């Protein structure tokens, strides 16, 4: 198997309990994620990984494949490791269960990048920030990259710093969209890396990779998403879908 997509889904969430099952336009949020991911042309298999019976029941109702995992996992990455451990697969795509507007081309772009270059271990998605609200929002993670499109740093702060030089007008800011791809070997390496100081400060798990000397390839997309972090975000997505806004 070349590519498997895994959607880790837990019911308990510090800021918004049960958000993966919250209703959006008549469907649980998790179903929106799964339906969009199913449109990917490169996924050989798509699995929802959970430790909660309520999620298992909901998943069975909309016909997705799900795996019940152990309850003690500290992160979605650990949950994915349990699912893919017995599977012979080259690339694993971690699809966030709180991204109901994820576009299938994002999944395909990350998978294609890793399949095409075997020297890469990990890849993710970025998009240009086009409004000031996102730039100021700490829930929107910003990223800076090198000239070869590898991530230099991720932060909840506005990076690069907007100083007073003339260069500030030419700065393009990018946000990180939390969809990750890994080779199977690197996923197990990643899982065993010690938590880093920068990761703890920013509360961004991907900084563990950079701080331990590994690289993350970034792929730009023109498509946008709205990540669900608070109940207020549900209203934004419902309005987006109600308007029938195109994925552009």
Give the CATH number of the domain where residue 211 resides: 3.90.550.10
- Is the sign of the CA dihedral 222, 98, 125, 65 positive or negative? negative
Residue 246: its pLDDT value, please?
46
| Mean pLDDT of all residues in 197-216 | 95
pLDDT tier, 14 (very low <50, low <70, confident <90, very high otherwise): low
CB atoms within 10 A of CB 225: 24
In a domain? residue 72: yes
Domain contains 161: no
Indicate whether 167 pLDDT > 70. Answer: no
Distance of CA 33 to the CA centre of its chain: 11
Task: Count the domains in the chain.
Answer: 1
CA angle 11, 28, 131 (to 5 degrees): 95
pLDDT of residue 164: 62
% of the chain surpassing 70 pLDDT:
93
Q: Which domain, by its residues, includes 212?
A: 3-125+175-243
Measured CA distances, 18 to 14, 23, 36, 55, 231 (Å): 10, 10, 20, 9, 11
Higher-scoring residue by pLDDT: 14, 65: 65
Whether 89 maps to a domain, the answer reads yes
Sign of CA dihedral 173, 170, 222, 244: positive
Of 18-27, 95-104, 114-123, 210-219, give the lowest mean pLDDT range: 18-27
Query: Does 186 score more than 70 pLDDT?
Result: yes
**Across residues 121-125, what is the average pLDDT?**
97
Cα distance between residue 6 and residue 79, in whole Å: 9
- Considering the chain, what is the average pLDDT of its residues? 90
pLDDT grade for 248, boundaries at 50, 70 and 90: very low
- The reply to whether 155 falls in a domain is no
Assess if residue 214 is contained within a domain: yes
pLDDT at residue number 165: 57
Q: Is residue 194 part of a domain?
A: yes
pLDDT higher than threshold 90 for residue 46: yes
Q: Using alpha carbons only, give the angle 200, 145, 78 rounded to the nearest 5 degrees.
A: 40
Distance of alpha carbon 214 from the chain centroid: 18
* pLDDT at residue 17, rounded to an integer: 74
User: CA dist 46 to 33, 107, 125, Å?
Assistant: 11, 11, 19
Write the burial class of residue 189 (CB in 10 Å: 0-12 exposed, 13-18 middle, 19+ buried): middle
**Phi, psi at 138, each rounded to 5°:** -70, -15
Cα separation of 24 and 42, whole Å?
27
Average pLDDT in the 166-180 region? 84
Confidence band, pLDDT 50/70/90 cuts, at residue 245: low
Residue 152 lies in a domain: no
Residue 163 placed within a domain: no
């Amino acid at each position: 198997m070349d590519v498997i997509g895994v959607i880790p889904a837990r019911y308990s969430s510090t800021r918004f309990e049960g958000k993966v099952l919250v209703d959006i336009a008549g469907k649980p949020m998790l179903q929106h994620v799964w339906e969009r991911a199913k449109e990917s042309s490169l996924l050989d298999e798509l699995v929802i990984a959970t430790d909660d019976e309520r999620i298992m029941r909901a998943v069975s109702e909309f016909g997705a494949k799900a795996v019940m995992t152990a309850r003690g996992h500290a992160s979605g990455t650990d949950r994915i490791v349990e699912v893919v451990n017995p599977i012979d697969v080259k690339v694993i795509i971690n699809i966030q269960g709180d991204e109901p507007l994820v576009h299938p081309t994002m999944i395909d772009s990350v998978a294609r990048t890793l399949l095409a270059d075997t020297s890469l271990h990990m890849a993710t998605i970025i998009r240009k920030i086009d409004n000031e609200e996102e730039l100021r929002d700490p829930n929107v993670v910003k990223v800076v990259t090198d000239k070869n499109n590898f991530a230099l740093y991720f932060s909840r702060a506005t990076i690069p710093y907007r100083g007073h030089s003339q260069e500030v007008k030419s700065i393009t800011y990018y946000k990180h969209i939390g969809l990750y791809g890994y080779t199977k070997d690197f996923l197990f390496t990643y899982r065993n890396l010690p938590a880093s100081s920068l990761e703890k400060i920013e509360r961004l798990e991907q900084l563990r990779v950079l701080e331990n000397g590994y690289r993350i390839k970034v792929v730009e997309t023109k498509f946008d998403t709205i990540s669900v972090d608070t109940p207020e975000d549900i209203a934004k997505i419902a309005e987006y879908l109600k308007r029938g806004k195109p994925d552009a």
